[in-house]
Structure 1
Amino acid sequence: MRVAAEQLQPKVHEWAQKRPVSTQANPLVGQDRALAAIKQTMRIGGRYAHGYVVTTPGLRIVDVLQELQARHQWVHFERFDWLYLANPDSANEPLCVNVPAGSARTALQGLMELFELQLSERETKLEELRTTYPNERFLTYIERIKDKSFADLPGNELAMVIVESAAQQDDFVLCDRVTETSLFGSIRLQSVGGTISSELHLIQPGALLKANGGVLAIDAEELLTQPGLWRKLKYVLRTSQFHWPQPGEANIAAYYQPEPVPIHLKVLLLGERSIYAQLRELDSDFDNLFPYLADFSAHYPLSQFAIEPYFNYLAYVEREAATLPLAPSAIPLVLKYASRLSDYQTELSLDTIALMQLLREAAALAEEQQLAQIEHDTILAVLQQRLQRDGYIAELSRRQILEGQVYIETSGSVIGQVNGLTVVTIGGTEFGEPARITATVHYGDGDIIDIDRKSELSGSIHTKGVMILSAYIANVFARSEEMSLSATIVFEQSYYEVDGDSASLAELCCLLSALAEAPIAQGLAITGAVDQFGRVQAIGAVNEKIEGHFALCKERGLNGQQGVIIPSANLSQLNLEPDVIAAVAEGNYHVYAIDDVAEALALLSGDNQEQLYARIEKRLDQLQHCEPQQPWYRRIW
């Protein structure tokens, strides 16, 4: 099937027309699945009800957490101010006390006023403190010091406020730079008169204590790369108690053991899906502690959602990018770019950072041109500049073909030779280019020899593809008797490992061409995987492959006979550059979509499958009933 130019990119102009007059910035568009999981997580309390959030590339987690805080407060949210107070019985074991949020300073002032009173005058103040701060720990502390003066307390400090909720209003606390100190805090040491010791003011809280009573979000990768922190966090979550480690190193340690802090919070681990899979597999405690999965999506599928909400997401991107406004003419190109990032025509990317980079780059160009808005031509110029910046390696590779150092034909017909489509990833650059595949046949027992495999230049998936096409050949031509022909097949001028099964269709067509002695059109390049029954299956990087072949043909001059053959299953991924679309619209270049090897053979050779297979059967039958020719040295004798 010849693909029309209109099918080579998403329906971006149709989408752009549905842009609402007014939009409301929203970073959580298209995240219904994740939001439902977060909502459920926030309704559950207890030690075994934490969650794992799968983050995606380009997701700005700070913005997401702010939006989640506005929508989903933890049902069991409860903030306190936490203090360490001097222990009247031990200088090295301060007592942990909590008071209502925002009242730590006034509570300390009340304690100091209590110490200034005579014992006989304290009852009224004591009753006032009991009524104002009814927390059990504070009441217990009052009972211990009600008949003591400040001088009776060890040291010269009364208290240290470790968490002051008045200064920490957010339900969500993010710990994205995870160290033992940033997560759990520390107790520092001091040297006074040659004596190493610690005091109340040297207690430094971490994110765990600052989030106590609320929600703590932790970067999972950062957490797991720090030895011992994961095990320590699990212990805190299981016991709901935070125990301070002994301060200092082994050779300078000083005994200082503050009372453990009761922990009551919700933990959300933030990380990639691979980390989640590893934790589930390697840690038997993980499923118990983190039963909830919030799976954020990298794409916005238009098959499930209307296009209009996506413009709210774009409004959020524009706000965060803080650039010139987008003109209506620029919207289709932005949507095209978002679709290209997602690899599907009916999906749009939610990669905030990538889209912000595009808008900021376009805004810089627009300001240089003294424009009031980001126009269509501005976005187009930015995308072309990116192709220019990233295209050096691809240009060098293409130059080798143009200069004849790498032999690739783009016109004429050749038996047993076909242009496959490959993707090269090198130096941080990915681009498509054609690769010449050749096949030869000779008298033998039906073996198909993959030269790349024999020379150890074939990856396991490519080897699997060759074995599948071998099975197809055997199924068609050797059901009742052995084939008398063997074949060799190879990627010519390939000096690196070849992997993937996307060339298996090209290799099969090349092999059948050699068997039938049918010429293949060199102006056409082909990609696709094939199964044992000849059905053509989808491949990856279809846009890069088409654009790589088109660029070569364009350099040599388009003649209207050139094009590519791709699987029909990849039609939903087409999102090509404007010059490719224009060439297809003008009939100078063609894109064909197929479902079966028979369609590929008809396009490449001009003959239908029955004609080709009849020629192969005839050739095999002739060889089957003739004696093999004796070697030349035996004929001499």
Structure 2
Amino acid sequence: MRIVAAALQPKIDEWANQRPTATSPSALVGQQRALSALQQALSIAGRYAHGFVVTPAGMRTYDVLNEVESKQQWLHANKFDWVYVANPESANEPLCVNLPCGKANDFLVKLWELLQADVSVRAPLRDFILETFPSDRVAKYIELIIDRTFDDLPGSELATVIVSHDENEPFMLCDRVTEASLFGSIRLQSVEGTISSDLHLIEAGAVLKANGGVLAIDAEELLIQPGLWRKLKYILRTSEFHWPQPGDANIAAYYQPEPIPVHIKVLLLGERDIYAQLRELDRDFDNLFPYLADFSSHYSLQNAPLAPYFDYLSYVERESAVLPLAADAYAALFKFVTRITDFQTELSLDTIAIMQLMREACAIAQTSASKEISASHLQQALKQRHDRDGYIAELSRRAILEGQVYIATEGEVVGQINGLTVITAGGHEFGEPTRITATVHYGDGDIIDIDRKSELSGSIHTKGVMILSAYIANVFARNEAMALSATIVFEQSYHEVDGDSASLAELCCLLSALAEAPIQQGLAITGAVDQFGRVQAIGAVNEKIEGYFELCRTRGLTAKQGVIIPAANLSQLNLSDEVIQAVADNKFHVYAIEHVGEALELLTQTEQKQLYARIEQRLNELQQIEREVPWWRRWFN
């Protein structure tokens, strides 16, 4: 069926008219599945209740986690200040004490006063310390030094604060993971030729700084560092942090601070592939990280209302620090965010991509002294981006226009068809037509794929050729073998051909050659096909249509040109304004089909029954000739 212009893009104008007067900026729009998983993880304590957060490309992780923290805090968080104090019984084994948040410095002042006071009058001060800083470790340490003086303590330092924080501190994000940044370190010093360590040389890492709260770690950064993953697992299993020995194996320096108990919630941040590999390769992973918070990169209008998405756009606009969006800018922005997702009812949540577009459009608006970003500014920004990325596409199109690559867009030819491919160069995709030809000859029913014979066919393309061969055999050779063989090839293709999106074009080309029915060269076609002739969806449908349209427009539109696509791809159409206008003016056409028969009728302007009857008649004639030829002549021939 022919597609009307209105169906070639999403309902962007209708959506833009639903813009509310007030919004509440939020980075968590459309993330209910992930938020539910995080809520479950943050409501449970214990060693085996950590989570993995799938972070799609373009998501500003810090913003998302910050908003999660403001709404869903860890219910079992219990933070302390941690202080290492001199051990009167061992100079190289300092002791740790925990204190209420923000009280570490106050404790050190009172500890200093206690040791300065005469032993006989320390009782009131001891009671004050025990009452002000209620902790078993504090009580144990005060009991240990209650009758000691500074002279009884080893070294020249009394204590050092390892971790000090406020009650309402947010989560900690460790996105640059090294052993020192994650686990801390103990440095060494040389005093009169003697290498040693001391209290002030102990430095805490993210695990201890986040102790009692939530620690988010970049999974990829963690896993590429040898040994860090195993060490983190040990801490999570034992709930205890042991300091590594300072220095390296060539330096003999013993310094072993007392282990610190760890009570922490860990969230690993990474791609879905990393999550899958950890589940497959590490037997401990499922036990330690049972909660998967899968953040989405799309907002589906089939499952949720449009209104919350305006809150997300408001958040992106705020973080972009750009001029306000004009009323007419929203339709252009909706067109962009749906084009990213490749679906008419899916809106992108790629924050960085949208921010980049907004900032580029803002720069254009400021150049023209505008006080807001309009649709024309967004369109100009997209055009500039297309011009920057379009050099390779321009060279490819120029080769066709100059005749170096032969592509016919007018007339009709038997056994020749314009298929549609997509080229990816430097991250930029563009559509490019390719000429497919087929010939038939007397034989035993084989279909020879020249690209496969010359080792230029990928495995998926080879599968597609086998499927179309099966369709032809199912239709025309159920009872006896065909006395006809065929060859098929992508003309002027000098690199590997892969994918099954050209299998429909190849099948139509073969049937055209078998029926000796000419194909309209103004029509290009894309689609995969199954063994029953049903047409299946393909990728990059917009790029393919626009690539062929650009070639036809440059040569001059004839009103007989167009593209045939699978009906399953209708929900992905989001074409440029130029294509939509040409379709509206009846100068270019887009057809959607569900079966190969529909494609053949459009391409050959002949009914499917007549075409198949001509093929059957030709095959019957060849079968009759084959029966009349003696077997020995067929053998030697």
TM-score range, shorter chain: over 0.9
Note if 1:14 corresponds to 2:45.
no
Task: Please give the secondary structure, in 2, of the residue aligned with 1:394.
Answer: helix
Corresponding position: 1:120 with 2:120: yes
Question: Secondary structure of the residue that 1:305 maps to in structure 2?
Answer: coil
Q: Note if 1:299 corresponds to 2:294.
A: no
Instruction: Specify the alignment match of 2:187 in structure 1.
Output: 188
Given that residues 438 and 509 in structure 2 are in contact (C-alpha distance below 8 angstroms), is that contact kept between their aligned partners in structure 1? yes
Q: Classify the secondary structure of the residue corresponding to 2:92.
A: strand
> How far apart are residue 253 of structure 1 and its match?
4.0
Q: What residue number does 1:582 align with?
A: 581
| Alignment of 1:288 onto 2:287 | yes
TM-aligned CA deviation for residue 427 of structure 1: 3.1
Contact kept, 8 Å, 1:301 with 1:347, in 2: the verdict is: yes
Q: Is the counterpart of residue 457 in structure 1 residue 456 in structure 2?
A: yes
- 2:109 aligns to what? 109
Structure 2 partner of 1:564: 563
Contact 2:468 2:531 in 1 (8 A): yes
Separation in 2 of the partners of 1:416 and 1:629? 28
Partner of 1:359: 358
Give the Å deviation of 1:340.
0.5
Partner of 1:131: 131
Separation of aligned partners in 2, 1:303 and 1:64: 24
Q: What residue in structure 2 maps to residue 94 of structure 1?
A: 94
- Per-residue deviation at 1:566? 0.3
Shift of 1:250: 1.0
User: CA offset at residue 190 of structure 1?
Assistant: 0.8
Describe the superposition over 1:584-612 as per-residue Cα deviations: whole angstroms up to 9, x where unpaired.
10000000000000100000001111111
Aligned: 1:164 with 2:174:
no
Q: Aligned partners of 1:235, 1:427: CA distance in 2, in Å?
A: 42
1:86 touches 1:159 (CA, 8 Å); kept in 2? yes
Q: Tell me, what secondary structure is at the counterpart of 1:382?
A: helix
User: Residues 315-366 of structure 1: CA distance to partner in whole angstroms, max 9, x if unpaired?
Assistant: 0000000010000011100011011111100010000000000000000000
Query: Amino acid of the residue matched to residue 116 of structure 1?
Result: Q
* Aligned CA distance change for structure 1 residues 285 and 401 (closer, same or farther; 3 Å): same
Q: Would you say the 8 A contact 1:47–1:237 is kept in 2?
A: yes
Partners of 2:33 and 2:295 within 8 A in 1:
yes
Contact 1:87–1:94 (CA under 8 A) maintained in structure 2: yes
**SS of residue in 1 equivalent to 2:211:** coil
Q: Please state how far the C-alpha of 1:426 moved relative to its aligned partner.
A: 2.1
Distance in 2, Cα, partners of 1:151 & 1:214: 38
Matched with 1:36 is 36
CA displacement 1:35-89 (0-9 Å, x = unmatched): 1111111111100000000011110011011101100010101110001111111
Alignment partner of 1:564: what SS?
strand
- Match of 1:438, SS state, is strand
Partner of 1:61: 61
Counterpart in 2 of 1:423? 422
Q: Is the 8 A contact 1:450 1:466 kept in 2?
A: yes
Q: Offset of 1:278 from its aligned partner? A: 0.2
Which residue type is aligned with residue 36 of structure 2? A
Letter in 2 for 1:31: Q
Q: How far apart, in 2, do the equivalents of 1:44 and 1:568 lie?
A: 48
Match of 2:512 in 1: 513
Counterparts of 2:624 and 2:119 in 1: how far apart (Å)?
Answer: 121
Structure 1 runs of 4+ aligned residues shifted over 3 Å read 627-630
AA in 2 matched with 1:107: F
CA contact (8 A) 1:171 1:211 kept: no
| 1:4 counterpart = 2:4 | yes
Count residues in correspondence: 631
Distance 1:315 1:566 in 2: 36
- Whether contact under 8 Å (1:299, 1:342) holds in the other structure is yes
Equivalent residue number for residue 590 of structure 2 = 591
Q: In the alignment, which residue of structure 2 is the partner of 1:532? A: 531
Percent identical: 69
Contact 1:406 1:493 in 2 (8 A): yes
What secondary structure does 1:93 align onto? coil
Letter in 2 for 1:202: L
Alignment of 1:467-478 (within 5 A): 467-478=466-477
> In structure 1, what is the equivalent of residue 25 of structure 2?
25
Deviation at 1:171, TM superposition (A): 3.5
- Matched with 2:399 is 400
- Counterpart of 1:152 in structure 2 is 152
Structure 1 counterpart SS, 2:495: coil
Q: Which residue of 2 aligns with 1:344?
A: 343
Structure 1 residues not aligned, in runs of 5+ = none
Q: SS where residue 127 of structure 1 aligns?
A: helix
SS in 1 for 2:217: strand
1:247–1:253 Cα contact (<8 Å) kept:
no
Shift of 1:170: 2.4
Q: 2:69 is matched by which residue type in structure 1?
A: Q
Give a deviation string over 1:464-513, Cα, whole Å, max 9, x none.
10000000000001100000001111111001111110000000000000
Q: Structure 1: how far apart are the matches of 2:261 and 2:573?
A: 56
Cross-structure match for 2:384 = 385
Specify whether residues 271 and 119 from structure 1 end up closer, same or farther in structure 2 by C-alpha distance, changes over 3 A only. Answer: same
Cα deviations by residue, 1:191-223 (Å, 9 ceiling, x for unpaired): 111111110001111110010000000000110
Query: Residues 323 and 372 of structure 2 are in contact (CA less than 8 Å); yes or no, is this contact kept in structure 1?
Result: yes
Q: Deviations over 1:389-423 (max 9, x none)?
A: 11100000000000000010000000000000000
Shift of residue 429, structure 1, vs aligned partner = 2.4
Secondary structure of residue in 2 paired with 1:506: helix
Write the letter of the residue equivalent to 1:502.
Answer: S
> In the TM superposition, what is the alpha-carbon distance from 1:249 to its structure 2 partner?
1.2
Secondary structure at the residue paired with 1:603? Answer: helix
**What is the TM-score with the length of structure 2 in the denominator?**
0.98
Q: Which residue of 2 aligns with 1:434?
A: 433
For normalisation by structure 1, the TM-score amounts to: 0.98
**In 1: Cα distance, 2:465 partner to 2:52 partner:** 41
What is the deviation of 1:252? 1.9
Contact conserved, 2:66 with 2:170, CA < 8 A, in 1?
no
Conserved 8 A contact 1:43-1:75? yes
Amino acid aligned to 2:51: G
